Amino acid sequence: MNLLQQSLILSCSLAFFTALPVSAADIAAGEQKAGTCIGCHGQKGSSSNAQWPNLAGHPATYLANQLKAFKAGDRVNVMMQSMTANLSNEDIDNLAAYFSSQKPVKAGGDATLAKAGEAKAGMCLGCHGAKGQGNGQFPRLAGQHPAYLEQQLNAFKTGSRKSGPMQATAANLSEEDFKALAAYFGSL
């Protein structure tokens, strides 16, 4: 391919991207819809109960992906499947933008276990971020309730929650590893 062809392709693809309709997610609209969520996930997405994960500060892409997965039945949870059944894609994007924009909290974790977890956490940081802060499709682990993290790791291991990379990661870890990793990330 010569230079002219290359630059033609480049300008065409740029024109394509700039011509896409702007569908900026609306944080204020998300906040309006979030009234039905905070009973479980807490004010501003910071939950005081480990049954219900913190949503604050997760990447918006991750939150939207999960809401779509619950709605489609690809991620199985009775409560969340019914909560998402009537949400449109626009509602989902707005809710994701709202919770993502909220300040994350620290759930905390057992200090001794957290130390053991720190020693094993290196293999997680490439995807979940150097501080477990998450990025794009990769969820935030930092500050999440340890009991929730542990439960999800178990779900990946048994295959009741699907994800290629996480099922492969969890397959090689023991329940003790899960506890330690969960305590470490919860304490960040």
The mark string for 9-48 relative to ligand HEC (x by CB under 6 A, - otherwise) is ---------------------------xx-xxx-------
Which residue shows structure tokens 């394509």? 16
Residue 8 has φ and ψ, to the nearest 5°, of -65, -45
Question: Could you say whether residue 83 binds ligand HEC (CB under 6 A)?
Answer: yes
CA 29 to chain centre: 20
* Nearest residue to 10 (alpha-carbon basis) of 18, 100, 57: 18
Smallest distance from ligand HEC to CB 18, Å: 30
Q: Which of residues 139-168 bind ligand HEC (CB under 6 A)?
A: 139, 141, 149, 152-153, 163, 165-166
Q: Which residues of 81-120 are buried (b: 16+ CB within 10 A; e: fewer)?
A: eebbeebeeebbbbbbbbbbbbebbebebbeebbebbbee
Pick the piece of the chain touching ligand HEC (CB under 6 A) from 5-13, 14-22, 105-113, 118-126: 118-126
CB 91 within 8 A of CB 33: yes
Smallest distance from ligand HEC to CB 101, Å: 13
Q: Return the half-sphere exposure (C-beta side, CA atoms, 13 A cut-off) of residue 29.
A: 12
The mark string for 97-116 relative to ligand HEC (x by CB under 6 A, - otherwise) is --------------------
Question: Could you say whether residue 67 binds ligand HEC (CB under 6 A)?
Answer: yes
What does the block give as tokens for 13? Answer: 């693809």
Question: Could you say whether residue 186 binds ligand HEC (CB under 6 A)?
Answer: no
Query: Footprint of ligand HEC on this chain (CB under 6 A)?
Result: 36-37, 39-41, 51-53, 55, 63, 65-67, 77, 79-80, 83, 95, 123-124, 126-128, 137-139, 141, 149, 152-153, 163, 165-166, 169, 181
